[in-house]
Amino acid sequence: MDKGIWIDGPVNKGVMKFLKGLLENNAMDAVLMPGKNKTGDSNAWFFLDRDGLDESASPFPPVMTTQGAKMVSYLTKKNGSWKKTGVLLRPCELRAVIELAKLKQVDLTNLVLISYDCPGAFPLKEYLSGNQQELDMAFETSLGTQTDPEGLRNVCSICSNFTGSGADIEIGLIGADSKGFWLIPGTEQGEELLKKTEESNSFKSLESRDKLVEAKSVQRKEKRETTLDSFQQSVNGPENLMTVLSSCINCHNCSRVCPICFCRECYFDSRALNSGADEMLRRADRKQGLRLLPDLLLFHMGRMTHMSISCVSCGACEDACPADIPVSMLFTVAARDTRKIFDYEPGRDIDEALPYSVFNFEELKNFEAPYTRQYSKQ
Amino acid sequence: MTDNGYEPKIVAFLCNWCTFTAADLAGTSRIKYQPNIRIIKVMCSSRVDPVFILKALLDGADGVLIGGCAPGDCHYSKGNFYARRKVALAKTLAQNMGLDTDRIRLSWIPASEGPKFAGVVNEFTEKIKKIGANPAGQEVFI
Amino acid sequence: METFINSRMTISEFIAAIFDKRETAGVAAMAKLPSGNKAAYTLFTDKKSAENSIPFFPAMPVNAAKAVSKFTRQASPSKEVAMFLRPCELRALTELVKIKQAGLDNLLLISFDCGGVFPFKEISISDEEKLKSYVDAFKNGKNCEGIRPVCAACTKFVPKENQADIVISLIGRKPHDPLVMSFPTEKGKNTAKALGIDLPDKTHTSPVAPSTAVESLFKEREEKEKKLKEKIKTGFADTGGLVSMFDRCISCHACSYVCPICYCKNCYFDSQTFEYFSESYFIRMGEKGALRLPVDRTLFHVGRLSHMGLSCVACGMCEDACPVNIPVSQIFKTIGSEAQAVFDYIPGKDLNEALPLLTYSESELETFED
C-alpha cells in the first residue's frame, strides 16, 4: 500500500476513537486489547465491547505482562471467534499469532488483527519496581517520536520487525512525528473496515514513512547482528552456557509464558524423562554429581529444538524468569542460524509452511556425509 | 440493588440420591419454592470440590447451596462426611480471602422431605436477597 | 527429648565419614556448581566430589522435598542415600509421602536448624559479607537481615525429631565447630555407631544442651509471624482486597510449578476444564462489557489454596519464583494455617496423620451446616 488514512492528534485518543467507531457502527463486535489493571501498577488484557472500552482500555502498554498471542489462543483455540473481534497486538505478538495459527492453536476466523509501530517494552520487573510515572511518560514520548526509550529490554532494542506489517490494519507511527498516525490497510478485510471509519477519505502518502522504516530497519539489523554476535561469544561453549544458566532453578516458567510453547503437557515434564533412583545415582556417578532437579540443560536445548524456529523474540520468557537469565537473547541467538538454513521467518506469512512439516527432495545436501569408501575393493 | 426486583442467582449442587430426589418430590407435590436456584446434579455431595464453590462465587453467583443426604444416610455410606470437610475448607478459605461465607450453605435434605427442600430454598433465597448481589459478579478485574 | 551430643566432626568430615564408614551410595545436599557463582541441590556418589557440598548454604533454588520426590517416585534407591533437608523441606517430604509422591526407603534423612534462606536471586557463593552476617545472626539467635519474609516469620525452624534420622543443632553455635547432633531414629543411631560417635549411654561423652539462642530466635520469629499474618489478613478485607492482592498476577503458574505439594503433572487449572468456547467469553463479558484475560486468574490462587493449602509448609518457593513479586507464600502461609486450624492439622508433623480431606469423624464441624 502506498497510501494510508491520516488521522491528526494524539495517538492514544485517536486509536481509541477509531476502535470505538468500529464497535459503534457494528463493523466489529468486541475488541481484545491491553489495559491497566485495577491498582494501575501493571497491565493486563481485556476483552471489551463498546461499553467497557472507555473504562478499561489503554492501547499501548509500556510492558508486556502476558503475550497477546496467548490471549488470542485462549479466545479461539476451541472454536473460531463467535463474533467479529478486533485484536490490538504488538508486532511480535502478531507474528506469534500467525505461528500459532499454523500450529492450529489459533483460529483466525472473525478476527481483525491490528498492529502498530512498536517502540519496544520495558523489562517487566524493572517497570514494577521502578518509577512508573516516569517510565510511562518516556514510553508515550517514544511512541510518538519513535526513538528508543532508555532502559528498553535487550530483545526489543535489537528487534528489526518493529512494524505491524502483516496485520489487517497497521497503525503507522514512524514518521508521524507525534502529530498523528496513519491507518494502513494490510488486507482486503482491513480495507473494507477502513472504508467505514469517519475519516475514510483523508488519505496521505506513506512515502516519508516508508523511507524512515527502511532506514530504521537497516540500522536495527546491523545492531542486531553485532549484539547477537557478541552475545553468542559470551555464551559459547558448555562452560559459558552453564555459567549463564547456573542460576536457573528449572522452574520451566520460560516455557509456560512462551506463546509458541503451547503443549499442555510439556515433554520435559513428562514421564519420558523420569527415572528410578538407581539410574539417577548412576548418572551422578558418571558426572561426579547430578544436579536435582536434573535435565536442566536438556530442557533449554530441547526447548530450542521444539520452538526456536518459531520464536518471535517477544521477550516474555525473560520477563517471567525468576532468576533473571537472558533467556530471550539465548533463544534469539539459537534461532538465528536455524532460520537461515530453512529460509524461514516466523510470522512472516501464514501460508509459509513450518520448516519441520515440509521438505524438498533436493536440499540441505551439505548436512549429509557422503559415503566415500568403495565397495568394489573388497 | 435493593430488595425489590432483585432476583439473586443461586447455584445448587444437589446429591442425586437425597436432595435432588427431594427437589423432584417438591415438584411432583406441587410445592412452590423460589425460582432463583440453578440446580447442578452431582452423584454425591462429596463430589463438590471446594473449587466448584469458589468458582461459582468468583464468577458472580449470589449464593451456593450444597445439598446432601443426612449424616448416616449417604448412598455411598460416608460421602457426606467428606462433603462437610470440603465445605468447611471452602468456607474457611472464602472467609479469609474476603468473600462472604453467608453465601455458602450446606444442608442435609433427605429424599422424602420435599417440603424441607422448598423451605431451605426459600430460606436461603430470602437470606441472599437480604445480603444483596455478589460484588464479584460486577468485578471486571477478578 | 533426644539428647544432643558433640560428634567431634565438622560437616565435611561428617559427609566423608558417611561415605567411608556407612557404605552410602550417595549424598544429596546444596553444593557449589562447577560453573558460575551459584549453589544448587546436588546428588554426589563419591567422597571426592562431595567435597563441593555446602549443606547449610542459605538458598533454596529447589525445595529439596521436590528433589526427593523426583528421585524416589519411580523407584527408591537400592542402597542407602543420605539427604540433607531443611525443616520445611522435611515437612513437605512428609506430606509428599502421604500423597504417595515420594518414598523413604533407603533414605537417611539429615536435617538441621534453619536460620532461613535468602531469596535465591539475591545470594551467591561470592557474597561473603552477606554470608558472614548470616552466620553471626545465627550464632546469636537472631534473624539475619535480608532473609525471605516467610523465613523470618517461621517458628518451625528446629526439625521435629521424629522425622529426621539425624538432627544437627546449629543455632547458637559457631560455624566451624564440630557438629552437635542428635540421632532420634534407629537408623540414625546405627549411623552414629558406624561413624564412631559415642552415644550418651557411654560414660565419657557429656550431652550438650540445646542452646538458649533457639529460644530468643523463636520469640523474635513468633512476633514476626503475628505481624505478617495481621498484614495479610488486613489485605483481604473484602472482595476488593482479594482482587488487588493478585492484581499483578500474569497467570504464569510458576508458584504451582515450584511448589513441593503441587505435584499434579497436569494441573487442574491448566486442564481443558478451563478452556472455553469463544461464545463463553462473549457471555462472560456480558453486562460488564469487559472481561479481564486470562480469565480465572483469582480462581487459580483461591482454588490452589483449596487443593494444597492444608498441606502448605510455608517453604517460600512460590514467592521466590513469582516474577511479579506477589507475596504468594505469605498469603498461603497465613490462610493455609487458618484452614489447617479448622481440621487441627499440622502439615508434616506426623507421617501417620491422615490428610484432612481423606478422613472424617461423624460428629464434627457441625457449625458449617445450616
Q: What is the pLDDT of residue C203?
A: 46
Is the per-residue pLDDT at A17 higher than 70? yes
Give the per-residue pLDDT at B1.
42
C360 to chain B nearest CA, in Å? 6
Determine, for residues B82 and C357 on separate chains, whether the beta-carbon distance falls below 8 Å.
Answer: yes
Burial class for C230, CB neighbours closer than 10 Å (0-12, 13-18, 19+): exposed
Confidence of residue C139 (pLDDT cuts 50, 70, 90): confident
| A residues 82-101 closer than 8 Å to C (CB) | 82-83
Q: Which residue of C has its CA nearest to A244?
A: C36
- A296: pLDDT strictly greater than 60: yes
pLDDT at B122 > cutoff 80: yes
A41 touches chain B (CB under 8 A): no
Q: How much of chain C exceeds pLDDT 70, in percent?
A: 96
Distance from B139 to chain A by nearest Cα, in Å?
10
Cβ–Cβ < 8 Å for A156, A223? no
Question: pLDDT grade, residue A205 (50/70/90)?
Answer: confident
Contact assignment for C36 to A242 by CB distance below 8 Å = yes
pLDDT at A200 over 80: no
Local confidence band at A57 (pLDDT 50, 70, 90 cut-offs)? confident
pLDDT per residue over B14-29, tens digit each? Answer: 999 999 999 999 999 9
Q: Does C290 touch chain B (CB under 8 A)?
A: yes
Helix (H) or strand (E) holding A185: strand A180-185
Q: What Å distances lie between residue A165 and A95, A169, A233, A328, CA to CA?
A: 10, 8, 32, 23
- Chain A residues whose beta carbon lies within 8 Å of the beta carbon of residue B141: 37-38, 44
| pLDDT at C50 > cutoff 60 | yes
Q: How far apart are CA C122 and CA C244, in angstroms?
A: 27
Do residue B140 and residue A55 have CB atoms under 8 angstroms apart? yes
If pLDDT is split at 50, 70 and 90, which confidence band does C204 have?
very low
- Complex ipTM: 0.93
Q: What is the mean pLDDT of residues C159-178?
A: 85
User: CA dihedral defined by A340, A345, A350, A356, rounded to 10 degrees?
Assistant: 40
A56 touches chain B (CB under 8 A): yes
Rounded CA gap, A75 and A240, in Å? 41
CA C8 → CA C13, C16, C153, distances in Å? 9, 14, 32
pLDDT of the residue at C138: 87
Q: What is the DSSP letter of A57?
A: B
Does residue C57 surpass a pLDDT of 80? yes
Q: Taking residues B29-53, what's their average pLDDT?
A: 96
Q: Which residues of C touch B140 (CB under 8 A)?
A: 288, 290-292
What is residue A370's predicted lDDT score, i.e. its pLDDT?
79
Whether residues A37 and B141 touch (CB distance < 8 A) is answered with yes
pLDDT for C315-347, tens place per residue?
999 999 999 999 999 999 999 999 999 999 999
Residue C229 has pLDDT above 50, yes or no: yes
- Does B71 sit within 8 Å of C356, measured CB to CB? no
C274 to A109, A302, C271, C310: CA distances (angstroms): 22, 28, 6, 23
By C-alpha distance, the chain B residue nearest A55 is: B140
Reply yes or no: is the peptide bond before residue B65 cis, omega within 30 of 0.
no
B47 close to C (CB below 8 A): no
Q: Do residues A120 and A156 lie in contact, with contact meaning Cβ atoms separated by under 8 Å?
A: yes
CB contact A272 to C (< 8 Å)? no
Give the one of B55, B71, B98 whose C-beta lies nearest to C242's C-beta: B98
pLDDT of residue C176: 79
**Interface residue of C124, C282, C318, C329 to substitute, partner A, most A CBs within 10 Å:** C282
Please compute the mean of the pLDDT values over residues A282-301 and round it to a whole number: 93
Residue B135 pLDDT greater than 70, yes or no: yes
B97 shares contact with chain A (CB less than 8 Å): no
Would you call B93 and C335 a contact, using CB atoms and an 8 Å cutoff?
Answer: yes
pLDDT level of residue A134 (50, 70, 90 thresholds): very high
Cβ-contact B41, B23 below 8 angstroms: no
Domain ranges of chain C: 5-219, 235-368
Q: Select the CATH number that applies to the domain covering B10-130 from these four: 3.40.50.720, 3.40.50.960, 3.30.1490.150, 3.20.20.70.
A: 3.40.50.960
User: Which of C233, C357, C368 lies at the smallest CB-CB distance from B106?
Assistant: C368
- Please state, rounded to an integer, the average pLDDT across all residues of chain A: 92
User: Within 13 Å, how many C-alpha atoms sit on residue C172's CB side?
Assistant: 14
Burial class (CB in 10 A: 0-12, 13-18, 19+), B89: buried
Proportion of chain A above pLDDT 70, given as a percent: 98
Q: B135 vs C239: CB contact, 8 Å cut-off?
A: yes
Judge whether residue A291 has pLDDT over 80. yes
**Residues in C 249-268 with any Cβ partner in B closer than 8 A:** 268
The pLDDT-based confidence of C365 (bands split at 50, 70, 90) is very high
Q: Give how far Cα A116 sits from Cα of A50, A77, A81, A255, Å.
A: 21, 24, 22, 26
